[in-house]
Amino acid sequence: MAGSGGEQTVAGYIKHHLTNLTFGKLPEGYERHTEHGTDIVGPGGQWTIAHGGEEATAMGFNAIHLDSMFWSLSLGIIFCWLFAKVARKASADTPSGLVNFIEMVVEFVDGTVRDTFHGRNPLVAPLALTIFVWVFLMNFMDLIPVDLIPEVLLVALGIPYQKVVPSTDPNITMGMALGVFFLMIYYSIKVKGFGFVKELTLVPFNHPAFIPLNFTIEFVGFLAKPFSLGLRLFGNMYAGEMVFILIAVIFSAGIAWMVPAGLLQIGWAIFHILVITLQAFIFMVLTIVYLSMAHEDH
């Protein structure tokens, strides 16, 4: 089991796989329990990599998940490089292979934007394509065996924790959702102007006496959009990751469980291909819908 350094309980194995590689600042006076005893963090605190969830919690808001950032940015770079490479190969001739597949993806996203977005904004289609492919690539990492990359990095570089599916980290999914939320606010103000304020204060009851009630209802609904967008992706991918981890636990139950566990893993992986694609599509479609609403001036 990854990162065990020996025998490990099932609970410890699951907890280990759900722990991010976290870098942050431990507060002054914090007691670090290591193999060599207890160390006290000196004056001014200490910037370090957390050894376990307790230290990551003690680091607070300023801590950063190195694994989530590395894999999400790496997959984003792969996406940009791949699509740029295909764009250079594109021609008027009949496409084949990878070029044909990429063109199908682009046409699919473009068709979805045309059917869903009712405004005029050249940013929406490229944004939708970026979200769909990037989220899909992050979700696709869930199909890699849960112990493969963590074990390799532990043996080769001594890295104790490694979560390779960025979309199972709420910081990543909520960060993307907040980016969409800021675009919603920007275009709502740009397109509607003062009409955006009227939407928040005079809907659904068009009377000054109901402004506080209207604002409460509309503001809560407005804030619910980024939370539902980010938490939906996180919840589905986190649940999928948990299933893969539990199946990996079955492999350690003995030789008799190898075949059932293997069949379960294959079956769940096949079903999960649909899940990771659907979640990327839902995130993209909701982004288009929210931006379309921001462009609609009643």
Residue 236 designated active-site: yes
Residue 228 designated active-site: yes
Catalytic annotation, pick one of 100, 206, 228, 252: 228
Catalytic annotation, pick one of 20, 68, 214, 236: 236
Catalytic annotation, pick one of 121, 171, 232, 292: 232
Residue 114 designated active-site: no
State the Cα–Cα distance between residues 102 and 39, nearest whole angstrom: 54
State the Cα–Cα distance between residues 82 and 76, nearest whole angstrom: 10
3-state SS track over the chain = CCCCCCCCCHHHHHHHHCCCCEEEEECCCCEEEECCEEEECCCCCEEEECCCHHHHHHHHHHCEEHHHHHHHHHHHHHHHHHHHHHHHHCCCCCCCCHHHHHHHHHHHHHHHHHHHCCCCCCCHHHHHHHHHHHHHHHHHHHHCCCCHHHHHHHHHHCCCCCCCCHHHCHHHHHHHHHHHHHHHHHHHHHHHCHHHHHHHHCCCCCCHHHHHHHHHHHHHHHHHHHHHHHHHHHHHHHHHHHHHHHHHHHHCCCHHHHHHHHHHHHHHHHHHHHHHHHHHHHHHHHHHHHHHHHHCCC
Catalytic residue ranges: 228, 232, 236
